Each structure stands twice: as C-alpha cells, then as structure tokens.
Amino acid sequence: MTKPPLTLYLAAPRGFCAGVDRAVKIVEMALLKWGAPVYVRHEIVHNRFVVEGLRAKGAVFVEELDECPDDRPVIFSAHGVPKSVPAAAAARGMVFVDATCPLVSKVHAEAARHHEEGLQMVMIGHAGHPEVLGTMGQLPPGEVLLVETVEDVAKLAPRDPAQLAYITQTTLSVDDTAAVIAALQSRFPTIVGPAKEDICYATTNRQAAVREIAPKIEALLVIGAPNSSNSRRLVEVGRAAGCGYAQLVQSASDIDWRALGAPTAVGVTAGASAPEVLVDQVINAFRDRFSVKLELVETAREDVEFKVPRVLRS
C-alpha cells in the first residue's frame, strides 16, 4: 500500500544545549572517577530518558540533600540550587560538584551584584521551577520578588520603587518576557536591567527556528518533558507563530496520530534537554506511516562549549 507523502521540517538548532551537555558529562565523569553510587540532587536535567540512562549507570536521584549519605559524592543539577545547599554539603564534609549551567550562574552573579549595590531584585520566572528557586535562594528572604505575568507587575509592592533591578529565568519565551519587562519599565522607570538579556542563547535559537518553520507546517511536534520549561515554551511559540496544532511529546510513543490527522507538512524540534536519539525515533515513527521527505531548516549554528569543573578534569 502506498504511503501518503509528508514533508518533515526539522528545526535547527534543536535538542541538547551546552549547559545540558556539560551537566550530563559531569554525572558520567563523576561515576567514572568515584564509582557508583553518585547522588544527584534533583533531576540533572528535565528529561526522563536522560535521567533513566544515568540511573542505569549508577546515579541516584534525590530531591533533598538530607537523602544523601555523607560519604558519597553529590551533584547539583543544571538548574542551580539555593546558596544554602552547597553550604549544608560543606558543613557535612561532603564531596559535591555543581553542575549549574554557567548561564544560570551568570544570573546568580547579577543578582548578588545588584544586592550589594542596595537594589531589590524582581525575577521574571515561573513559581516553583528549580531554576527560580535556586536563583531566589542566592539572596536573603524578601530580596527577590517574583513576577510571572504583566498582571503581576501591577501588584508589586517593592521596598523602594526607585531601587530595583530585574533578572529573568533563562528558559522563558522571548516575546512573553519582553511584555513583562516593558510593564516593569513603565511602572518603575529607573529599574536596572541586565547588560545582556538573561534568556539563554539556546532558548532564543530554538524559538527562532520554530518561528521559521511555523508558516510551512500544519502541525508541530516538540520533543521534551512536561516539566521542561524551555520545551513548553517552544509549543507556545509555535502556536503564537500560527501553527494550529502543536504537541509536546516525550517520545515517539506519545504522538497522538488520531489528533494529527493526515498532514502533508509537519515540523519537529526538541527542547534543550532532549537527546537526538529521541528525534530519530520520531522521524522513524513518521517513516512507518508516511513517505517522508526531510527538510532541515537551520536558523543558527551553535559552537558553545562549557568546561566541566576542575575536580573532574584532574
């Protein structure tokens, strides 16, 4: 039986970013250096496939430091942790490795610098997200005010409206963040912003690629985890760019073929925590049902690489 024709537009860049690649390497190198088990506080990155792969090699994932024994290494996730966590690990004499993405660490440094200058921080981000908890935990309680929406800006009650600075979660939608920043600047004209936007290059590049393919496709599949902020934002960006059907899938087995219908053009991308093997599985699933023509849509080239901590290189 002849398969119906389908063009798959493959977004580039997609998938692993430099921060995720570094974090996964840190766990793998720690296992090689110290042997199993190595403990990891929180999921190293937000992807079940990656986490399960590392668990099979001997990584033990926990939510809190008190679940870790004193005599085994512990790794802090790529999303970053409050200052109290490494302090507690040091007090217990634990060996610990910080896998916080360097771009998240840059935001931490910005917050600390503004705090030293007497400014109260406003953080644009999603309540409860590990990166937000880690960043807010860099400063004393009450020194970081969280906003998610333009409406939240109107309710802000800062200590001194003339002494404010803002930072953002690195995995947000560029467009949504721009609206919140504009609202902050309108209400607080003297608010200080970062010299360079906090949203990371990988988030920006992946969103730009989705905008590029959106006019060409009838449906968009974003490969990523439900708790991955940057993956969920890719779905939102696709819809905002005019893609009527956009679905987040963790793997090929999650594709809702009935809802997808009989398209002739589909876009595929992957969040920054999703490995390329999951993209290959999705492509093969389409090849089982369609006569697939692959089209690569590349909007940027990425050559960023972050070094792993010195303790793992020695």
Please tell me the distance from the alpha carbon of residue 94 to that of residue 74, in angstroms, as a whole number. Answer: 8
Please indicate whether residue 131 is annotated as part of the active site: yes
Q: Taking the CA of residue 63 as centre, how many other CA atoms within 13 Å lie in the half-sphere pointing to its CB?
A: 0
How many other C-beta atoms can be found within 10 angstroms of the C-beta atom of residue 81? 26
Please tell me the distance from the alpha carbon of residue 78 to that of residue 278, in angstroms, as a whole number. Answer: 20
DSSP string, 298-311: E--------PPPHH
Please tell me the distance from the alpha carbon of residue 100 to that of residue 231, in angstroms, as a whole number. Answer: 19
Contact 85, 65 (CB under 8 A): yes
Catalytic residue among 110, 131, 148, 151: 131
Contact 72, 38 (CB under 8 A): yes
Contact 309, 97 (CB under 8 A): yes
Active site residues: 131
